[in-house]
Chains A and B, each alone.
Chain A
Amino acid sequence: MMQVIANGIVAGAGYALFALGFGLVHSTGRFFHMAHGGSYVVGAYLTYVLVSKVGLSSLVGGCGGVLGGAVLGAMMEIAVFRPLRRRNASREGMFLAALGLMVCIQNGVSLVFGDQPVVLRTASVEPGMLFLGARITNVQVCIVATCIAAAASAWIGLQKTNLGMRIRAVASSHELATVYGLRPEAILLLVMVCASALGSLAGILSGFDTDLTPSMGFYAQLMGVAASIVGGIGSVRGSLLGGFMVGLVQHLGVWKLPTQWQEAIVFALVAVCLCIRARGFLRTNWGTKD
């Protein structure tokens, strides 16, 4: 039982990290960033190349992966989302463009690395330490700690800094932010870079925990979006809550049910939560109104 909960928390931390970046983009850029999983998978595979092929240490390789994910985010924003926004693309259009990007990225990764799982772990699998009756590896501790640290920095960054104020202003209204003399495009680019860095960080950490497959980004996208919706899109605390809820429900569910039900359980949770609180449990107080 404790093991199941521990696994759920670790998975949940990953989803929360993903949902954090996804929610940031959704609140400021106002679209469903379906290619957020692209940074996730590219960050993880880049780290794999840097660590396993180039021979860098895990830490340096991981930083390289985060950087790569951030650069990918910047490229997506500049090459795809910004031009679309300038042409007043609808949210549906942006959604489809992002989905298309995600498919391209996944196929690209699968072309280069093949569909077989690759292993990023450098050391042999250790049994992990015993904590309250559950075995947890160092990587898993690191995932949870990173998630909480990232959420705390995001919250402080948004609420307490000058830049965060600008990000919230752009999230509230692009047009009005312009009237105040801000440049929404610059802010949106910065948000995309930070969010993509968070997304790739989630991918890299999960890569050190389990294996890498080209479809890992899509799966994370599915779970991260679910977490985001359950918790309240764009809310930092909501991302945390949603991530942990999704992770826990998923793992507690398959404890009693066959594994094929894993995703179904998560989306049943989404459905139930939407019935209770249509806008997620913790609504953002700084995101968009509509």
Chain B
Amino acid sequence: MPKTPTLQCDGLFKQFGDVRALADVSVRLSRPGIVAIIGPNGAGKTTLLNAFSGFVQADRGVCRLEGLELSGHSVAEVARLGIARTFQEVRVIDRLSAIENVMLARPGQRGESLLLALASLGWRTEERVNHAVAERALESVGLGQESNRLALELSYGQRKLLSLAVVQATEARVLLLDEPIAGIHPERRVSILNLLRRLRDDGKLLVLVEHDMPAVREVADTVILMDEGRVVAEGEPSDILQRRELVEAYLD
């Protein structure tokens, strides 16, 4: 019997006005792995991430996380179930420091339940552990020096790195990353690609929407090519990105 895919969707439809963003999309993704969703602008890549993370409720079709139906769950519930995501237009909490952003994302802290937070004693030890983990996450993206700066004081690239540190800290099993490489300083690129690989090796499923084809070629295990809301091709990057007819039709 085949094992349940980590993340799957079946017959996903989503229409925005006249635009069909998703037209019968079905995918099955298993962890560990790095899956890159590629395709021209408006292909429905981000909408697919939105459907998985609860930001968009599909008109038809279902998304499942390890067999559990996600439709009808709120963004916060999906996050708690173990799907973390980053955004194309980086979104981190501006008025918290970098390290607080990461600490906030750590799962299972006291303070999750308000009563516990009010009644808790000895939370300082726990906070120290959290702090240490958060510091490591910041260092892994090269932001160790910036941990006490407010997120709004960081540059665009730094904020993007911060959002990677944040999803890393959630300990989610599935990370949905919208253009994690674009806009990152070339010097940091290699270490980010290594970070993505390390997260995969920790057993996570990473789903990237990415326009940087060299990066996709380097890091992805699977490529899904989308256009006009449909999956056009799916396979290994060496296979898909070699096929001239696909590259010329969709990626140039």
- Listed in ascending order, the chain A residues whose CB lies under 8 Å from chain B are 161-163, 165-166, 168-169, 171-173, 176-183, 186-187, 190, 285-287, 289
Residues of chain A contacted by B107 (CB below 8 angstroms): 181
Q: Are A190 and B114 in contact, with the CB atoms below 8 A?
A: yes
Q: Are A180 and B114 in contact, with the CB atoms below 8 A?
A: no
Q: Are B109 and A180 in contact, with the CB atoms below 8 A?
A: no
Bound-state CA distance A172–B74 (Å) is 20
Q: Are A180 and B117 in contact, with the CB atoms below 8 A?
A: no
Q: Are B75 and A162 in contact, with the CB atoms below 8 A?
A: no
B65 to chain A, nearest CB (A): 15
Residues of chain A contacted by B170 (CB below 8 angstroms): 181
Q: Are B123 and A165 in contact, with the CB atoms below 8 A?
A: no
Q: Are A181 and B80 in contact, with the CB atoms below 8 A?
A: yes
User: B100 at the A/B interface (Cβ < 8 Å)?
Assistant: yes
User: B110 at the A/B interface (Cβ < 8 Å)?
Assistant: yes
Q: Are A181 and B127 in contact, with the CB atoms below 8 A?
A: no
Q: Are A176 and B91 in contact, with the CB atoms below 8 A?
A: yes
Residues of chain A contacted by B96 (CB below 8 angstroms): 165, 168-169, 172, 286
Bound-state CA distance A190–B95 (Å) is 20
Residues of chain A contacted by B111 (CB below 8 angstroms): 161-163, 165-166
- Contact residues of B between 87 and 116, Cβ < 8 Å to A: 91-96, 100, 103-105, 107, 109-111, 114
Q: Are A162 and B123 in contact, with the CB atoms below 8 A?
A: yes
Residues of chain B contacted by A179 (CB below 8 angstroms): 75-76, 79, 85, 91
Q: Are B105 and A162 in contact, with the CB atoms below 8 A?
A: no
Beyond A176-B92, A178-B79, 7 additional pairs, beta carbon < 8 A: A176-B93, A178-B76, A181-B107, A186-B114, A285-B95, A286-B96, A287-B95
Bound-state CA distance A289–B93 (Å) is 11
> Which partner residue on chain B sits nearest A164 by CB separation?
B111
User: B154 at the A/B interface (Cβ < 8 Å)?
Assistant: no
Residues of chain A contacted by B23 (CB below 8 angstroms): none
Residues of chain B contacted by A165 (CB below 8 angstroms): 96, 100, 103-104, 111
Residues of chain A contacted by B123 (CB below 8 angstroms): 162
User: B150 at the A/B interface (Cβ < 8 Å)?
Assistant: yes
Residues of chain B contacted by A182 (CB below 8 angstroms): 76, 104
A164 to chain B, nearest CB (A): 9
A17 to chain B, nearest CB (A): 21
Q: Are A183 and B95 in contact, with the CB atoms below 8 A?
A: no
Residues of chain A contacted by B166 (CB below 8 angstroms): 180
Q: Are B95 and A162 in contact, with the CB atoms below 8 A?
A: no
Q: Are B74 and A180 in contact, with the CB atoms below 8 A?
A: no
Bound-state CA distance A162–B112 (Å) is 9
A177 to chain B, nearest CB (A): 7
Q: Are A180 and B85 in contact, with the CB atoms below 8 A?
A: no
A selection of 24 A-B contacts at a CB cut-off of 8 Å is: A161-B111, A162-B110, A163-B111, A165-B100, A165-B103, A168-B93, A169-B93, A169-B95, A169-B104, A172-B96, A176-B93, A178-B75, A179-B76, A179-B85, A179-B91, A180-B93, A180-B104, A180-B105, A181-B79, A181-B80, A181-B105, A182-B76, A186-B114, A286-B95
Q: Are A173 and B93 in contact, with the CB atoms below 8 A?
A: yes
Q: Are A172 and B79 in contact, with the CB atoms below 8 A?
A: no
Bound-state CA distance A178–B74 (Å) is 9
